[in-house]
Structure 1
């Protein structure tokens, strides 16, 4: 899979949500690289990463990520994930491959009506971005266009950078694996094994998240020692809504990993 590497120190893996790419973390990467060796990945079928040859379930995507980490000689890593990326981060933790996890609005615990609603939103985003794909590059050059591209995912979309807004081009607009991933990794996903997690976990969700409803806090009683943090003035993908808070959450959660070893 395609990675962007930056910084030095302990490895920190960044996992984006469905319909995005590693560029969704583009403004966070330099800040995180001051403290970690950052590996930002394009999930299968998104950005520059090819589709999987099997159904893109959470388990299969996690298998692919772990295989890439093995190839890089990496065992356990800190993980920051958003939405589906947060769900995959928790799956890695159940397998003992995470040193610590910060999961921003992780998918997986939606009730049936919430899953239908979330699926409808993702479908609308896919269709809308495919239709405006020829305009996305031009839209990303000004604040009005960037706001239109990231509205709904961010609570303060006008703060999104050009690279962050272009994430929808390699994601919702052009991702080959978008439909199958929506079906297999989100709508039909049922998390198991959460009580097996032994690393520090911080669950965070924007209070203005209109996509994932109350899914995040439902993980708290399932994961031993997990902490839930609400993010004021933040949406479903809060990377540019509250960047300083996210960096601090990652640092503090990583520090908890050292305190328990």
Structure 2
């Protein structure tokens, strides 16, 4: 017991030192712990000229759930959510090309192009059928995939997804129409704090040193993200004509206080889907799987249980 106590003291001391001297080292340690708790390992695949990084875990013979992150994000968004599914499902969370650790070629990142890249990734991994879940831009991609490849999709879950003209315009698009800067792109330290408050109702707590580290990473990618966001708008693919092509049961899950994409989008989407379920989470923002991962996972598992493949 005494040895264990001293080991814990050393671990805490090391973590404190890492936070002071190298926030990046601490982040790596936290990610390692989170991956372990989620039962995921870090993998990579060569898909054409692209190197795709992804997390993978769960039984290889289980049904596959592919998790697709949103704009400016990466596969880490799913870690605390994914831990609820790896005991039963084969779980994959990828870094989309242009994000995270995956390749960032000087190429197009519109939703249609990214959908075909996801298809090539799925084919490279030899997956025939799968459950798709996506958040924000990732939901837009997941929905377009389900419309283009309906025979492969067992179920579809869309968390605060893009791609729909909402009856009530969101605060994000109101700001953009006024000519204000994009609150999803971080250009200085203050922007990162504002981003957290914009995306979440209750932002995840972060030490100041980690906030600074994440802000610096986001600032370094600001020009890249500006380019991608411009492409998403210039080469926009509306989902309204695509949704009737989706044959899989579809979950529409939204935070009722989403300032990025308004919850009224559900009123447009639900009548266009063949089989839909709706969950609106009270006092929740744009990324429910981060803000309230356990509750979001329960809603998703209930949906999967209600729609066995």
TM range (shorter): 0.7 to 0.9
Separation of aligned partners in 1, 2:244 and 2:132: 18
1:5 match: 56
Separation of aligned partners in 1, 2:296 and 2:131: 14
Asked if structure 1 preserves the Cα contact closer than 8 Å seen for 2:187 and 2:218, the reply is no
Please identify the structure whose Cα radius of gyration is greater.
Answer: 2
Matching residue within 3, 17, 20 for 2:73: 20
Matching residue within 233, 246, 249 for 2:283: 233
The question of 1:105 aligning with 2:174 is answered no
Asked if structure 2 preserves the Cα contact closer than 8 Å seen for 1:155 and 1:238, the reply is no
Separation of aligned partners in 1, 2:207 and 2:141: 25
1:144 match: none
The question of 1:116 aligning with 2:164 is answered no
Q: Which runs of 5 or more structure 1 residues have no equivalent in the other structure?
A: 137-146
**SS of 1:125 mapped into structure 2:** coil
Provide the TM-score with structure 1 as the length reference. Answer: 0.80
Q: Compute the displacement of 1:170 (Å).
A: 5.9
Matches within 5 A, 1:1-261: 1-8=52-59, 9-51=62-104, 54-94=107-147, 95-96=149-150, 97-110=152-165, 114=170, 116-117=173-174, 119=176, 123-126=182-185, 129-132=186-189, 150-158=196-204, 173-174=220-221, 177-186=224-233, 188-191=236-239, 192-213=241-262, 214-258=264-308
1:140 match: none
Mark the CA change 1:206 to 1:173 in structure 2 (over 3 Å): closer, same or farther.
farther
Provide the TM-score with structure 2 as the length reference. Answer: 0.69
Mark the CA change 1:24 to 1:189 in structure 2 (over 3 Å): closer, same or farther.
same
Asked if structure 2 preserves the Cα contact closer than 8 Å seen for 1:54 and 1:60, the reply is no
Q: Compute the displacement of 1:160 (Å).
A: 7.2
Separation of aligned partners in 1, 2:207 and 2:282: 20
Deviations 1:28-72 (A, max 9, x none): 122222231111111121111123564222111010011011010
Q: Which runs of 5 or more structure 2 residues have no equivalent in the other structure?
A: 1-51
Mark the CA change 1:225 to 1:98 in structure 2 (over 3 Å): closer, same or farther.
same
Deviations 1:64-103 (A, max 9, x none): 0110110100022111211011111111211213211111
